[in-house]
């Protein structure tokens, strides 16, 4: 196996997936908590919107991001006065992955929060804990394993993101070429050997991430008994 | 702290609406009723865990709920210590973590609670490894550590078998004495209520059907089908090798020794069907207790019974109608009451004052 | 215990993110070159030469169809150099105002060839009309609507009068290398690519070379565009691509240097 032909894509994929997960962590977990507990008007709308990246083709989202960040777009250099430099960079890849993995993290986090008995939170409150303290001392510790699983699932999704990434970040070897886009590129130039190696690494990483998340999910199910 | 609790509330439940009204200053209020009569919902309403409660709740001068004026304090601000039926111990914190949850820095309080409830040896244990009785004590301890102004106990004996229940009773009495907070106790066992509470509300279908002192309200025949147990309280005057003498206020009852010490307050139960009645003082009996008493009330019929005044306390005796006729028992008659020492059960003792 | 570890891990992730964001703020020691897919291998050779001369400046290549690249340049101004397979795409880039320094006209040219999978039993054709035969149900082209290689192929077929018959058989690829791959994998029985593409592949065989007078005028264009790198540096790279050693690289790969016809 030629390490040099695989390494840049492998490293970039891990970096992009890690950054993407870090980016969605707070908003997705917060939304998961909100959907788990509160009934509010417009809730089904929020749920549907949050789930959109699961059902719409990733290319549609790639297109959306492209339109948004182009020079003449609403978030482009001309509109903002400075260049966010998202398109055709690793930041664009992070954004695309973050968007596409968001609904999965929300969903899994929501289940994790739903598994925390609300009466335990009431008990904490009646013992004098403030809302923030209830969250920090009771809810999060009890939901912890499920939340880690949620982040790992988001990470797995980000590892394999292609459709939106290739449109927003392009396919520049060494700069924005991930394992997924690298496979596509290798196929295009007929480098089957490279394609096989990249696909192998993708499968390995994806498997490891999903297996670990399942482990945490199992622990979370047994913890809140 | 006056400890005055006043409430007038309605709460729609599945099947009926809870509509209750009461005002009390007692240190221990019992709530008695069958399952489904709304007892737990009342506690949750007092604790502030329930939405949909309308009316007024006031404790110790503070208004916890006033629907007309839109006042509804959340449970944290009520200072209520709620011990629910399922204890709700935090599974991710050990025993010590649970106890300390509501009290940040008060080491002295935590140590006292550990001592009084005898849960010191459980300190480092995992919640999942505790027995039913231990869980109850830890849950009670956790509530006490948070310095509650009012304790709400939902079936504190509920999950335990009979012998175990009686073991919790002393802790409850001790907690009552040591920590001072008044409490509201929900139970379907009249004996336990009688042992602990000075006042009881009887609920049925969401309404109060009787209220008053336990001895008055929880009488045989009415709400009960099991053998009625009389609950008597007195002070231990003397202690022998195998028995102890309990002064019921003019009348002394011999009870099993059961670790009683002189000067202690003892709570003793005697089953109503374990008592004999005689017109003349019988002699040559094995029973140590042959006590003079006066018949206060006579009830005929299939569940014939009579209530005598034993010292300052009422005692119910179940017997047959034929016996009443044969002994020519009437109201005001002087009789002798015979009780075996072993038929007296020491429920609890509260340490020397 | 685990909680503390997790908190540390989260903090680490966030700080890595922040660090990564800031790491690209230094002086750009890299020049972004957007080049047509057919130039892939030749550019590799030219980059080698550059590395010997100026190893501290990295050439970062973005290969694709000239049409896609032109759109990307329009949308982002990320390129410092644009190597296009036709002048139409360069015109688009010029219209968007991105060109900093124009290269010479007729910089590079190429030749169209018809290829079949290496496993096929075809022998060399005498006439292009063989294409119309029923044994070629699928024709691999770079997208004839936008990609230069496809447009050139279509122009040639139109001149031959066979476009209308063949149009429905076309399997469009995202660029010329995709069309080549389609023939390599025998997904298509025949394809039209550049001779330079056929040269780098062992899995296709050329059955017909389109004579230069018969085919359309293939004209590559090159220009320095206003991107992130400083203009003098981009100009230097442009000059490198136009230098004699670079021309040799292109010629060795089969490109027709400095000619059109």
Task: Quickly list DSSP for C138-198.
Answer: -EEEE-TTT-HHHHHHHHHHHHHT-HHHHGGGEEEESSHHHHHHHHHTTSSSEEEEEHHHH
**Considering only CB atoms, which chain B residues are within 8 Å of A125?**
74-76
C41 touches chain A (CB under 8 A): no
Would you say residue B176 has pLDDT above 90? no
The confidence score (pLDDT) of residue B89 equals 94
User: Closest Cα of chain A to C161: distance in Å?
Assistant: 30
User: How far is B214 from B201, CA to CA, in rounded Å?
Assistant: 9
User: How far is A134 from A139, CA to CA, in rounded Å?
Assistant: 6
A119, A125, A127 ranked by CB distance to B74: nearest: A125
Does the interface predicted TM-score (ipTM) exceed 0.90?
Answer: no
**Considering only CB atoms, which chain A residues are within 8 Å of C61?**
172-173
Q: Which secondary-structure segment (H or E) carries A181?
A: helix A179-188
Q: Which secondary-structure segment (H or E) carries B295?
A: strand B289-299
A144 touches chain C (CB under 8 A): yes
C3 touches chain A (CB under 8 A): yes
**Considering only CB atoms, which chain A residues are within 8 Å of B88?**
117, 119-120, 123
User: How far is C4 from B348, CA to CA, in rounded Å?
Assistant: 46
Residue range C138-142: mean pLDDT, rounded: 95
Domains C29-108+219-257 and C111-209 share a fold: yes
User: Residue A120: pLDDT band by 50, 70, 90 thresholds?
Assistant: very high
| Residues B232/B265, Cβ–Cβ less than 8 Å | no
As a whole number, the mean pLDDT across chain B is: 85
The confidence score (pLDDT) of residue B71 equals 87
Would you say residue B349 has pLDDT above 80? no
**Count of C-beta atoms within a 10 Å radius of residue A151:** 24
**Number of residues written out for chain C:** 261
CATH code that applies to domain C29-108+219-257 = 3.40.190.10
Determine phi and psi for C203, rounding to 5 degrees: -105, 10
User: How far is A12 from C236, CA to CA, in rounded Å?
Assistant: 29
Determine how β-strand B305-310 pairs with β-strand C81-84: unpaired
Partners of C241 in the beta sheet? none
Secondary-structure percent of chain A, ordered helix, strand, coil, rounded to 5: 80, 0, 20
Determine phi and psi for B267, rounding to 5 degrees: -115, 120
**Count of C-beta atoms within a 10 Å radius of residue A83:** 16
Residue spans of the domains in chain C: they are 29-108+219-257, 111-209
Q: Which of A96, A132, A137, A85 minimizes the C-alpha distance to A116? A: A137
Residue C61 gets which letter from DSSP? Answer: E
Report the chain B residue with the minimal C-alpha distance to residue A143: B92
Partners of B297 in the beta sheet? B307
Q: Which of B254, B268, B261 minimizes the C-alpha distance to B315? A: B268
Q: Which of B145, B116, B121 minimizes the C-alpha distance to B131? A: B121
User: Closest Cα of chain B to A127: distance in Å?
Assistant: 5
Would you say residue A106 has pLDDT above 50? yes
Which percentage of chain A shows pLDDT scores above 90? 72
Q: What is the pLDDT of residues A40-81, one digit of tens each?
A: 888 889 999 999 999 999 999 999 999 999 888 898 888 888
**Considering only CB atoms, which chain C residues are within 8 Å of A70?**
74-76
Would you say residue C220 has pLDDT above 60? yes
**Three-state DSSP class for residue A38:** coil
Residue range B233-237: mean pLDDT, rounded: 89
As a whole number, the mean pLDDT across chain C is: 88
Q: Do A141 and C181 lie within an 8 Å CB cutoff?
A: no
Q: Do B128 and A137 lie within an 8 Å CB cutoff?
A: no
Q: Which of A137, A135, A142 minimizes the C-alpha distance to A117? A: A142
Which chains share 3+ C-beta pairs under 8 angstroms with C? Answer: A
**Three-state DSSP class for residue A135:** helix
Which chains share 3+ C-beta pairs under 8 angstroms with B? Answer: A
Would you say residue B1 has pLDDT above 50? no
Q: Which of A59, A72, A71, A65 minimizes the C-alpha distance to A91? A: A65
User: Closest Cα of chain B to A133: distance in Å?
Assistant: 11
Q: Do A88 and C76 lie within an 8 Å CB cutoff?
A: yes
**Number of residues written out for chain B:** 353
Would you list which residues of chain A are within 8 Å, Cβ to Cβ, of chain B? 117, 119-120, 122-130, 137-138, 141-142, 223-225
User: Residue C21: pLDDT band by 50, 70, 90 thresholds?
Assistant: low
C47 touches chain A (CB under 8 A): no
**Considering only CB atoms, which chain C residues are within 8 Å of A144?**
2-3, 6
| Highest mean pLDDT: which range of A199-203, B51-55, C254-258 | A199-203
User: What's the Cα-to-Cα distance from A218 to each of A32, C23, C246, rounded to whole Å?
Assistant: 19, 39, 60
C187 touches chain A (CB under 8 A): no
End-to-end CA distance of chain B: 20
Q: Which secondary-structure segment (H or E) carries A81?
A: none
Report the chain C residue with the minimal C-alpha distance to residue A24: C14
C8 touches chain A (CB under 8 A): no
Q: Which residue has the higher pLDDT, A123 or B216?
A: A123
A117, A122, A142 ranked by CB distance to B92: nearest: A142
C32, C76, C174 ranked by CB distance to A87: nearest: C76
What tokens does C104 get? 């010479």
Q: Do B90 and A223 lie within an 8 Å CB cutoff?
A: no
Q: How many CB pairs under 8 A join A and B?
A: 52
Report the chain B residue with the minimal C-alpha distance to residue A123: B88
Fold for domain C111-209?
D-Maltodextrin-Binding Protein; domain 2 (3.40.190)
Q: Which secondary-structure segment (H or E) carries C228?
A: none
Partners of A23 in the beta sheet? none
The confidence score (pLDDT) of residue C211 equals 92
Q: Which secondary-structure segment (H or E) carries C229?
A: none
pTM more than 0.90 = no
The confidence score (pLDDT) of residue A90 equals 92
Residue that is written with structure tokens 């002048």 in the block = C87
User: Closest Cα of chain C to A190: distance in Å?
Assistant: 6
User: How far is C132 from A211, CA to CA, in rounded Å?
Assistant: 54
Q: What is the pLDDT of residues C95-123, one digit of tens each?
A: 999 999 999 988 999 999 999 999 988 88
Q: Which of A104, A78, A75 minimizes the C-alpha distance to A168? A: A75
**Considering only CB atoms, which chain A residues are within 8 Å of B143?**
127
C243 touches chain A (CB under 8 A): no
C163 touches chain A (CB under 8 A): no
User: How far is B311 from B314, CA to CA, in rounded Å?
Assistant: 8
Determine how β-strand B28-32 pairs with β-strand B199-204: parallel
Q: Which secondary-structure segment (H or E) carries B109?
A: helix B107-116
Range name among A44-48, A218-222, B18-22, C231-235 with the lowest pLDDT average = A218-222
| Highest mean pLDDT: which range of B273-287, B316-330, C149-163 | C149-163
**Three-state DSSP class for residue B102:** coil
How many CA atoms, within 13 angstroms, populate the side-chain half-sphere of residue A103? Answer: 13
User: Residue C63: pLDDT band by 50, 70, 90 thresholds?
Assistant: very high
Q: Which of the residues C4, C8, C75, C174 would you substitute to probe the A interface, choosing the one with the greatest number of A C-beta atoms within 10 Å? A: C75
Determine phi and psi for C160, rounding to 5 degrees: -75, -15
User: How far is A75 from C158, CA to CA, in rounded Å?
Assistant: 43
Sheet with B150-154: list strands edge to edge.
Answer: B80-83, B150-154, B183-187, B28-32, B199-204, B207-212
Q: Do A120 and B88 lie within an 8 Å CB cutoff?
A: yes
User: Residue A211: pLDDT band by 50, 70, 90 thresholds?
Assistant: very high
Would you say residue C59 has pLDDT above 90? yes
**Considering only CB atoms, which chain B residues are within 8 Å of A126?**
47-49, 75-76, 78, 80-82
Q: Which of B264, B257, B263 minimizes the C-alpha distance to B243? A: B257
User: Closest Cα of chain A to B103: distance in Å?
Assistant: 8
User: Residue A9: pLDDT band by 50, 70, 90 thresholds?
Assistant: very high
**Count of C-beta atoms within a 10 Å radius of residue A212:** 16
Would you say residue B268 has pLDDT above 50? yes
Q: Which of the residues B47, B74, B76 would you substitute to probe the A interface, choosing the one with the greatest number of A C-beta atoms within 10 Å? A: B76
User: Closest Cα of chain A to B91: distance in Å?
Assistant: 7
The confidence score (pLDDT) of residue C58 equals 92
Q: Do B76 and A141 lie within an 8 Å CB cutoff?
A: no
| Residues A153/A105, Cβ–Cβ less than 8 Å | yes
């Amino acid at each position: 196996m030629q390490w040099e032909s695989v390494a840049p894509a492998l490293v970039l994929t891990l970096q992009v997936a890690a950054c993407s997960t870090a980016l969605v962590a707070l908003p997705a977990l917060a939304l998961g908590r909100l959907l788990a507990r509160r009934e509010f008007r417009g809730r089904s709308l929020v749920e549907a919107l949050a789930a959109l990246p699961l059902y719409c083709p990733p290319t549609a989202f790639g297109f959306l991001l492209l339109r948004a960040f182009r020079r003449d777009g609403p978030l482009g250099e001309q509109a903002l006065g400075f260049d966010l430099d998202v398109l055709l960079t690793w930041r664009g890849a992070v954004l695309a992955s973050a968007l596409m993995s968001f609904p999965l993290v929300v969903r899994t986090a929501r289940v994790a929060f739903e598994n925390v008995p609300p009466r335990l939170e009431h008990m904490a409150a009646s013992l004098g804990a403030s809302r923030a303290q209830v969250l920090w001392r009771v809810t999060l510790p009890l939901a912890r394993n499920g939340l880690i699983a949620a982040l790992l699932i988001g990470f797995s999704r980000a590892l394999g993101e292609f459709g939106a990434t290739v449109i927003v970040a392009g396919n520049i070897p060494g700069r924005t070429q991930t394992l997924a886009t690298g496979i596509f590129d290798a196929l295009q130039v007929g480098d089957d050997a490279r394609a096989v190696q990249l696909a192998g690494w993708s499968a390995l990483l994806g498997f490891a991430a999903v297996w670990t998340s399942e482990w945490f999910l199992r622990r979370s199910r047994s913890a809140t008994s | 702290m006056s400890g005055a609790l006043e409430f007038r509330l309605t709460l729609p439940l599945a099947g009926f609406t809870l509509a209750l009204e009461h005002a009390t200053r007692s240190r221990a209020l019992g709530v008695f009723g069958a399952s489904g009569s709304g007892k737990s919902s009342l506690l949750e309403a007092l604790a502030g865990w329930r939405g949909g409660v309308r009316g007024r709740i006031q404790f110790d001068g503070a208004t916890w709920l006033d629907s007309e004026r839109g006042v509804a304090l959340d449970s944290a601000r009520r200072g209520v210590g709620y011990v629910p039926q399922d204890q709700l111990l935090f599974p991710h914190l050990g025993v010590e973590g649970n106890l300390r949850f509501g009290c940040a820095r008060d080491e002295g309080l935590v140590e006292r609670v550990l001592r009084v409830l005898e849960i010191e040896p459980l300190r480092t244990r995992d919640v999942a490894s505790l027995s039913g009785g231990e869980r109850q004590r830890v849950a009670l301890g956790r509530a006490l550590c948070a310095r509650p102004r009012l304790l709400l106990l939902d079936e504190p004996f509920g999950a335990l078998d009979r012998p175990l229940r009686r073991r919790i009773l002393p802790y409850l009495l001790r907690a009552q004495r040591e920590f001072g907070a008044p409490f509201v106790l929900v139970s379907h066992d009249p004996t336990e209520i009688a042992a602990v509470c000075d006042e009881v509300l009887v609920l049925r279908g969401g309404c109060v059907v009787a209220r008053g002192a336990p001895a008055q309200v929880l009488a045989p025949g009415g709400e009960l089908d099991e053998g009625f147990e009389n609950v008597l309280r007195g002070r231990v005057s003397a202690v022998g090798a195998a028995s102890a003498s309990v002064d019921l206020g003019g009348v002394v009852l011999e009870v099993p020794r059961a670790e009683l010490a002189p000067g202690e307050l003892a709570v003793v139960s005697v089953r109503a069907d374990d008592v004999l009645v005689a017109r003349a003082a019988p002699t040559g009996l094995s029973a140590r207790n042959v006590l003079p008493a006066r018949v206060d009330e006579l009830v005929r019929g299939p569940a014939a019974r009579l209530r005598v005044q034993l010292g300052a306390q009422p005692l119910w005796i179940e017997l047959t109608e034929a016996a009443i006729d044969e002994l020519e028992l009437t109201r005001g008659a002087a009789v002798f009451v015979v009780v075996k020492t072993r038929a007296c059960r020491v429920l609890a003792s509260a340490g020397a004052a | 215990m685990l909680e503390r570890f997790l908190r540390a891990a989260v903090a680490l992730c966030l700080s890595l993110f922040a660090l990564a964001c800031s790491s690209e703020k230094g002086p750009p020691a890299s020049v972004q070159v957007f080049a047509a897919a057919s130039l892939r291998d030749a550019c590799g050779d030219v980059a080698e030469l550059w590395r010997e001369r100026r190893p501290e400046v990295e050439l970062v290549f973005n290969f694709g169809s000239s049409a896609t690249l032109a759109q990307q340049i329009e949308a982002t101004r990320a390129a410092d150099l644009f190597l296009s397979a036709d002048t139409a795409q360069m015109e688009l880039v010029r219209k968007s105002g991105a060109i900093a320094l124009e290269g010479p006209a007729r910089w590079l040219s190429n030749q169209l060839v018809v290829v079949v999978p290496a496993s096929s039993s075809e022998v060399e054709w005498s006439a292009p009309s063989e294409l119309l035969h029923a044994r070629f149900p699928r024709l691999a082209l770079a997208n004839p609507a936008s990609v230069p290689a496809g447009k050139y192929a279509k122009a040639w077929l139109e001149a031959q009068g066979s476009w209308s018959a063949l149009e429905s058989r076309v399997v469009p690829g995202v660029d010329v290398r995709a069309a080549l791959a389609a023939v390599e994998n025998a997904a298509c029985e025949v394809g039209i690519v550049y001779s330079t593409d056929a040269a780098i592949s062992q899995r296709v065989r050329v059955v017909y070379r389109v004579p230069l007078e018969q085919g359309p005028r293939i004209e590559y264009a090159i220009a320095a565009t206003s991107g992130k790198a400083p203009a003098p540096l981009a100009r230097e790279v442009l000059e490198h691509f136009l230098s004699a050693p670079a021309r040799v690289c292109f010629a060795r790969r089969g490109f027709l240097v400095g000619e059109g016809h």
